[in-house]
Structure 1
């Protein structure tokens, strides 16, 4: 079968690899779509970062390996001991390996497992025609949710988890910084939680236009005093939560200037450079920074339920490509900023 195999920085090859068979406790998936994530870009251009160069403690896998951790598929075979799943079932994959014994795992917070691993980063993943997946990673897709949306459940669950940590509810004001895929996911999640007063701050005209077409209200930080606008809009109270999906110093500084007293800035971005955090703002406002990592199964189920209700729309920001085009039309296009979200179809035309 064809697979996108990662060998190191700037070396991702479409190879012909052996088609795998399911092991006990796993299923074999015919991959529907696999999304290219920002983490994949970091690995391709600057890695290996998360991809292990010696056997991972939970998976035993190491470089080289097949990439892809945002994917959906259809079960074509089940391994020994598998119950509750059958050939033809359509699923989204929650790609987290966890130890089950560390303190976070014992508390139910396996998304911050001390030995966390990801299918497609610490094992062969979904950027291939087939993938072998443990049953604990499977989430059933209802008939109303197609495989394209199914591949977006993972990144949308990253955003939904962050939105939940913001502890907001209907009637609150929220501000999202960054209108990339996670920022878009935050807007969908907040709307799904009943918030109508949500602003998205984004300097790129292209990204602003894309999320505005979905119905969002945007602010251009280059043309508006965002903290002054939020202060006036909230009668001085500030936002009930702000969310950083941008990962750059100006966004963080502006976000902290917008957040209300004793309210959170939820950080769901990856920071490539050290940040200077204005602690005085936090002290004087008694506000806080809340980190957000990944998701749990509850976030997956919540996103799938919202998708079944028609709450997510891929119009204008999602592009579909074949596996053969994954470098030029996928990684290079995303790196250049000419595309926002790319879904790879490894079985195009089959």
Structure 2
């Protein structure tokens, strides 16, 4: 089968490798689509970061390995002892490996497992024609949810988890900093929670246009004083939750100026540079910064249900490519900003 294999920075090879067989408690997935994640880009241009260079404690895998942790497909074979699933079942994959016995796992918050691993970062992943996963990673896809949407369940679950941590609901107000795929996912998730007053702050005209086409209200921070505008619109109260999906200091400073008293700023970004943002707004408002990592199964199920009800739209921001084009039309196009979200079709 064809697979995208990571060997190190700027070294991803499309090679033929053996089709993996499922072991006990595992199934084989015929991959329909696999999304390229921002984490994949970090690994390609600056890694290895998360990809282990010695055996991972949960998977035993190490560099080189097959990329891909955002994927959906059809079960093509089942291993010994598997019940409840059969060949032909349509599934999305929750790609987390967890130890099951550390403090977070014991508390049910396995998304912050002390030894957390990701399929496609700490094991061979879904950027291939086939991959093998344990059954605890499986989520059924209803027929009404396309495989294109199915491959987006993982990043949309990241956004849904963050949206939930903001403790907002029907009638509340929110702001999103960054209109990349996670920012778009936050907008969909917040809409699904009943919010209508959502402002998206994004300096890129291309990204603003993409999310505006979906129905979002945007602000260009290079053209308007965002905190002043929000203060005026809310009579100085600020908004009920702010979400940072940008990961840069100016976004944090603006977000903390816009969040209301005793309200959260939820951080779901990766920060490549240390932040030196003054926290006076945080202190004076008794506001808080809430981190958000990954998702749980509940987020996957919520996103799939929202997709089944028509709550997500891929128009204008999602495109697909063949596995042979992963580097030039995938990594390089995303890195240059000419594309927003790319799905790899290994059958194309």
Q: Same fold, TM exceeding 0.5?
A: yes
Q: Do residues 333 (structure 1) and 333 (structure 2) align?
A: yes
Instruction: Tell me the residue number matched to 2:238.
Output: 238
Q: Which runs of structure 2 are paired with 1:183-332 in the superposition (5 Å)? A: 183-332=183-332
Q: Which runs of structure 2 are paired with 1:58-77 in the superposition (5 Å)? A: 58-77=58-77
Secondary structure of the 2:176 match is strand
Using the alignment, how far apart are the partners of 1:220 and 1:44 within structure 2? 30
Deviation at 1:66? 0.2
Deviation at 1:152? 0.1
Deviation at 1:28? 0.5
Deviation at 1:232? 1.2
Q: TM-score, normalised by structure 1?
A: 0.99
Using the alignment, how far apart are the partners of 1:233 and 1:193 within structure 2? 22
Deviation at 1:233? 1.1
Deviation at 1:236? 1.1
Q: Which runs of structure 2 are paired with 1:84-233 in the superposition (5 Å)? A: 84-233=84-233
Using the alignment, how far apart are the partners of 1:83 and 1:278 within structure 2? 54
Using the alignment, how far apart are the partners of 1:155 and 1:314 within structure 2? 13
- CA offset digits 1:199-230 (Å, max 9, x no partner): 00000000000000000000000111111111
**Unmatched runs of 5 consecutive residues or more in structure 2:** none
Secondary structure of the 2:75 match is strand
Secondary structure of the 2:57 match is coil
Deviation at 1:91? 0.4
Using the alignment, how far apart are the partners of 1:169 and 1:278 within structure 2? 29
Instruction: Tell me the residue number matched to 2:18.
Output: 18
Using the alignment, how far apart are the partners of 2:73 and 2:344 within structure 1? 12
Using the alignment, how far apart are the partners of 2:60 and 2:299 within structure 1? 27
Secondary structure of the 2:312 match is coil
Deviation at 1:325? 0.5
Deviation at 1:75? 0.4
Secondary structure of the 2:273 match is coil
Using the alignment, how far apart are the partners of 2:250 and 2:346 within structure 1? 38
Deviation at 1:252? 0.5
Deviation at 1:279? 1.6
Deviation at 1:277? 2.5
- CA offset digits 1:101-157 (Å, max 9, x no partner): 000000000000000000000000000000001100000000100110000000000
Instruction: Tell me the residue number matched to 1:347.
Output: 347
- CA offset digits 1:260-279 (Å, max 9, x no partner): 00000000000000001322
Secondary structure of the 2:77 match is strand
Number of residue-to-residue matches in the alignment: 348
More divergent stretch after superposition (180-189 vs 224-233): 224-233
- CA offset digits 1:8-65 (Å, max 9, x no partner): 0000000110111111101011001000000000000000000000000000000000
Using the alignment, how far apart are the partners of 2:145 and 2:225 within structure 1? 40
Using the alignment, how far apart are the partners of 2:166 and 2:278 within structure 1? 20
- CA offset digits 1:290-340 (Å, max 9, x no partner): 000000000000000000000000000001000000000000000001000
Secondary structure of the 1:174 match is strand
Using the alignment, how far apart are the partners of 1:339 and 1:5 within structure 2? 22
Instruction: Tell me the residue number matched to 1:80.
Output: 80
Using the alignment, how far apart are the partners of 2:297 and 2:61 within structure 1? 24
Instruction: Tell me the residue number matched to 2:39.
Output: 39
Using the alignment, how far apart are the partners of 1:47 and 1:276 within structure 2? 25
More divergent stretch after superposition (37-46 vs 277-286): 277-286
Using the alignment, how far apart are the partners of 2:266 and 2:44 within structure 1? 27
**Unmatched runs of 5 consecutive residues or more in structure 1:** none
